[in-house]
Amino acid sequence: MTGEYFLSINDVSTRMDVPAHTLRYWEKQFPTTIKPTTGAGGRRYYRPETVTALEVVKELLYNRGMTIAGVKKLMKDGTFPENTDKITLVPRATTTTRPKQLMPTELPASKLGLFSRQSDIDSAIELLERARATLG
């Protein structure tokens, strides 16, 4: 961002490899952090600090797996990073396969009702522990 004071939305879109409509959406979602200057005809122009904030938002959403709500919470809490170098969040684990869920018809009849006896509770705990071991 050296030597450039204002960048158009098209310039920012190209540099960040993010569609312009996404930048406009983020502007609506994060109005206190992403405030482009508007010029003649309502065109958006971004200052370097706004572009940096957009880069942080992109990193958090695209690479760190955060949600819009999660980024908003960081902003509200005052822990929104100033730049991408200060992001220390652990990336969200992704799985390629979903574990098989037992359908109610596959459970023993004793597991379908309320657990009123200690033995039912113990059986439920055992069932959960076996499921945890199976899922790894």
CA 44 – CA 40 distance, rounded (Å) = 9
DSSP string for 66-112? --HHHHHHHHHHT---SSGGG--PPPPP--SSPPPPPPGGGS-GGGT
Is the pLDDT at 127 greater than 50? The verdict is yes
Higher pLDDT, 45 or 111: 45
Class of 7-86 in CATH: mainly alpha
Is the pLDDT at 3 greater than 80? The verdict is no
What are the angstrom distances between the C-alpha of 50 and each of 45, 81, 83, 134? 10, 13, 11, 47
pLDDT in tens, 100-126: 555 554 555 555 555 455 666 777 777
Threshold 0.85, pTM exceeds: no
CATH 1.10.1660.10 segments of the chain: 7-86
